[in-house]
């Protein structure tokens, strides 16, 4: 199934997502709520234009990169769309990385300009002078150090009028660096039409985002999932986005929901689990919750619906596909399943020779849809391995049941064999989290005394439970009682927390080490 966007030959995404609303009479509608600040679409347009003109005053040309290292504030959309409108290419950088990572991102991308929050300046300051491609640093939301530009003063001197750059639907639009769950991050290049495609398919046809919706995403804007949730899904229809600069801890999230009463709330399984632990808070006003990043354990879904009376739509997306391409549906949620392909996307499960597999058999998931990235920057071989013509190799293991629902069983390199039989870490983890003592867990392969691979579980306990040999035996027996005996974890390590990427995905490769 394909979706025809009917975009004009000359098309600029910033014009579509911002200027269009002013032309169509929605300039006075609230676009962004952040802390105690409120911006209309007309406000965003003016800020976007000033930033775009600022880039042009620095000599930034079409297709040159602008790195964005910012917390989620009302400035972010103005910077993101301002760069696009000027013809530059914004790169959304993860705010939770280390200096060496930013040095890599800036060198790899050859970004000409960096826009950085004052609170994050110390992460790039040590190597600022050694950057051969970085010519200008603009500092937002705080004082600007010497040799940098102060955002507020700089944009105040720019014109609020700007014509969109003469881009086409297939010009580079923005980059996202992959989360690096399997190694070094890759610059993933998206085109001007990609956000529109995702918004018109998943945003409209699955979530039903409308003009009167208020969208709040705990997942941040630098994350592909968060960028859609908190920016271009609401901006596609003239709705309102709520932004949270701080970390999305349960108390802060409940506070946002109480204050702004969002109608759509986007989270990740770990956050939903932690919110269930909290005894306070409600979801008043929320009509639907959305989950991605990791498979949603059925037990969390069950407890969430029982406590809050609101469903969670679990789905899977990727940086390469820009957002969710398989999802459950409102009114048709299959617990434990990732759902059905989103309208406009196709999926198939294949073996190692890329031959399609019958229902019930585990294989690698391939997906096709017109939001797919064009390529990885400077990663020719990796591009060829992943982007197979119209199809994208997700590297995820799935099976499909007779009703067409897809079930995630792990990353290709996370699967393990016990006694010669494949074991899905996701299945064992879901079983463990059904035990009342388990808050969250991760299962990986470990070597026994005979040099054979067996499941090992790392377990974070709920409050009120203490690690002990007796509890370890109880958890093993719990899994044995519900799953095939060969799947139970031979070892259980009780830990305070699990290593995760900033997008909430468990770093299983670290646990294996």
Return the residue matching tokens 């799947």.
487
CATH 3.30.300.30 domain extents, the chain = 416-512
Bridge partners (DSSP) listed for residue 297: none
Instruction: Write down the H helix ranges in 58-181.
Output: 75-85, 99-109, 151-156
- Cα separation of 253 and 250, whole Å? 5
82, 163 contact by CB (below 8 A)? no
Q: Which residue has the tokens 């086409």?
A: 168
**Taking the alpha carbons of 512, 99, 153, 141 in that order, is the dihedral positive or negative?**
positive
Q: Kindly report the backbone phi and psi dihedral angles of residue 85, in degrees, each rounded to the nearest multiple of 5, phi listed first.
A: -65, -35
Which residue in 61, 60, 52 sits closest to 84, CA to CA? Answer: 52
Q: Any idea what the Cα angle at residue 183 is, between residues 217 and 232, rounded to 5°?
A: 25
Burial 205-229 (b: 16+ CB within 10 A, else e): ebbebeeebbbbbbbbbbbbbbbbb
Q: What letters, b where the CB count within 10 A reaches 16 and e where it falls short, cover 11-23? A: bbbbbbbbbebbe
Q: At what angle do helices 250-260 and 269-277 cross, to 10 degrees?
A: 90
Q: Which residue is it, tokens 């900033």?
A: 502
Q: Where in the chain do CATH 3.40.50.980 domains reside?
A: 8-29+36-191
Query: If you average pLDDT over residues 259-277, what whole number do you get?
Result: 93
Share of the chain above pLDDT 70, in %: 96
What is the per-residue pLDDT for 183? 55
Provide the edge-to-edge strand list for the sheet that holds 89-92: 149-150, 136-140, 113-117, 65-69, 89-92, 172-177, 187-191, 375-376
The whole model's pTM is what? 0.85
Distance CA 326, CA 313 (A): 10
Three-class SS of residue 394? strand
Quick one: pLDDT at residue 421?
Answer: 66
> What is the token pair recorded at 65?
């990169």
CA distance 341 to 327: 6
| 414-444 confidence digits (pLDDT tens) | 777 665 566 888 889 999 999 999 999 999 9
- Is the pLDDT at 111 greater than 90? The verdict is yes
Confidence of residue 501 (pLDDT cuts 50, 70, 90): confident
d(CA 123, CA 498): 24
Is 1's pLDDT higher than 60? Answer: no
Say which residues have a Cβ less than 8 Å from residue 499's Cβ, sequence separation at least 6: 506, 507, 510, 511
Placement of tokens 């929050």 in the chain = 117
For residue 186, name the pLDDT band (cuts at 50, 70, 90).
Answer: very high
Q: Do the Cβ atoms of 125 and 103 come closer than 8 Å?
A: no
Which of 259-273, 321-335, 366-380, 436-450 is least confident?
436-450
How far from chain centre, in Å, is Cα 175? 13
Given 3-state DSSP classes, what are the helix, strand and coil percentages for the chain, each rounded to the nearest 5?
30, 25, 40
pLDDT of residue 275: 94
Give bridge partners of residue 301 from the DSSP assignment.
none
What is the per-residue pLDDT across 311-356, written as a single tens digit (0 to 9) for each?
999 999 999 999 999 999 999 999 999 999 999 999 999 999 999 9
- pLDDT above 70 (res 206): yes
**pLDDT for residue 4:** 84
At a CB cut-off of 8 Å and minimum separation 6, what does 324 contact? 198, 202, 206, 225, 228, 290, 292, 315, 316, 317, 342
Please count the helices (runs of H) and the strands (runs of E) in the chain.
16, 27
In this structure, are residues 334 and 213 in contact, taking their beta carbons and an 8 Å threshold?
no
Q: For position 502, what pLDDT does the model report?
A: 65
**C-alpha to C-alpha distances, 483 to 108, 429, 489, nearest whole angstrom:** 46, 11, 11
CATH 3.40.50.970 fits 193-336+371-388, yes or no: no
Check: CB of residue 242 under 8 Å from CB of residue 256.
yes
What was the pLDDT predicted at 361? 94
Q: Where in the chain is the domain with CATH 3.40.50.12780?
A: 193-336+371-388
Arithmetic mean of pLDDT over the chain: 93
CATH code 3.40.50.980 for 8-29+36-191:
yes
pLDDT > 90 fraction of the chain, expressed in percent and rounded: 81
| Mean pLDDT across 478-486 | 86
What is the pLDDT confidence band of residue 450, given thresholds at 50, 70 and 90? low
Tokens of residue 216, six digits: 């709040």
Assess contact for 272 and 294: CB atoms under 8 A.
no
Judged by DSSP in three states, 157 sits in coil
Q: What is the pLDDT of residue 226?
A: 96
- Give CA–CA dist 298/304, Å, rounded: 10
What pLDDT shows up at residue 351? 92
Q: Which of 153-157, 215-219, 368-372, 496-500 has the lowest mean pLDDT?
A: 496-500
The CATH homologous superfamily to which domain 416-512 belongs is ANL, C-terminal domain (3.30.300.30)
State the alpha helices, DSSP H only, in 178-314. Answer: 194-198, 224-227, 233-237, 250-260, 269-277, 298-308
Query: Residues 371, 321: contact at Cβ < 8 Å?
Result: yes
pLDDT, position 297? 86
């Amino acid at each position: 199934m394909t979706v025809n966007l009917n975009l004009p030959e000359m098309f600029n995404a910033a014009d579509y997502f911002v200027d269009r609303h002013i032309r169509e009479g929605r300039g006075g509608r609230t676009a962004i709520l952040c802390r105690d600040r409120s911006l209309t679409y007309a406000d965003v347009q003016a800020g976007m234009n000033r930033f775009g003109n600022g880039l042009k005053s620095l000599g930034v040309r079409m297709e040159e990169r602008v790195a964005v290292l910012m917390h989620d504030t009302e400035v972010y959309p103005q910077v993101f769309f301002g760069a696009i409108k000027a013809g530059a290419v914004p790169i959304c950088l993860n705010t939770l990385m280390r200096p060496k990572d930013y040095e890599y991102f800036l060198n790899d991308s050859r970004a000409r300009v960096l826009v950085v929050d004052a609170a994050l300046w110390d992460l790039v300051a040590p190597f600022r002078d050694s950057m051969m491609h970085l010519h200008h640093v603009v500092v937002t939301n705080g004082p600007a150090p010497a040799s940098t530009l102060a955002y507020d003063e700089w944009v105040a001197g720019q014109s609020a009028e700007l014509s969109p750059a003469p881009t086409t639907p297939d010009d580079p639009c923005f980059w996202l660096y992959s989360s690096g769950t399997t190694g070094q991050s890759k610059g993933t290049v998206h085109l001007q039409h990609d956000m529109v495609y995702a918004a018109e398919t998943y945003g409209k046809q699955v979530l039903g985002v409308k003009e009167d919706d208020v969208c709040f995403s705990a997942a941040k804007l630098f994350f592909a999932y968060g960028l859609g949730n908190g920016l271009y899904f609401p901006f596609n229809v003239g709705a309102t986005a709520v932004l949270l600069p701080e970390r999305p801890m349960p108390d802060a999230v409940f506070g946002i929901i109480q204050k702004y009463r969002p109608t759509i709330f986007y989270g990740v399984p770990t956050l939903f689990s932690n919110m269930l632990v909290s005894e306070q808070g409600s979801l008043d006003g929320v009509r639907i919750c959305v989950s991605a990043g990791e498979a949603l354990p059925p037990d969390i879904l069950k407890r969430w619906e029982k406590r809050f009376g609101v469903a969670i739509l679990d789905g899977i997306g990727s940086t390469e596909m820009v957002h969710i391409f398989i999802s459950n549906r409102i009114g048709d949620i299959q617990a434990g399943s990732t759902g059905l392909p989103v309208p406009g996307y196709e999926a198939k499960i294949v073996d190692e020779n890329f031959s399609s597999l019958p229902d019930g058999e585990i294989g690698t998931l391939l997906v096709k849809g017109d939001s797919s990235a064009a390529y990885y920057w400077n990663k020719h071989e990796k591009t060829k391995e992943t982007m197979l013509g119209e199809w994208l190799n997700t590297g995820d293991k799935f099976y499909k049941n007779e009703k067409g629902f897809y079930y995630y069983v792990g990353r290709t390199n996370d699967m393990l064999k016990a006694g010669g039989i494949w074991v899905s870490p996701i299945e064992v983890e879901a079983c463990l989290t059904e035990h009342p003592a388990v808050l969250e867990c991760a299962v990986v392969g470990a070597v026994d005394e005979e040099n054979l691979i067996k499941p090992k579980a790392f377990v974070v306990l709920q409050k009120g439970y203490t690690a002990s040999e007796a509890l370890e035996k109880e958890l093993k027996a719990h899994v044995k009682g519900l799953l095939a005996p060969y799947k139970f974890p031979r070892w259980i390590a009780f830990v305070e927390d699990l290593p995760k990427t900033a997008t909430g995905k468990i770093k299983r490769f670290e646990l294996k080490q």
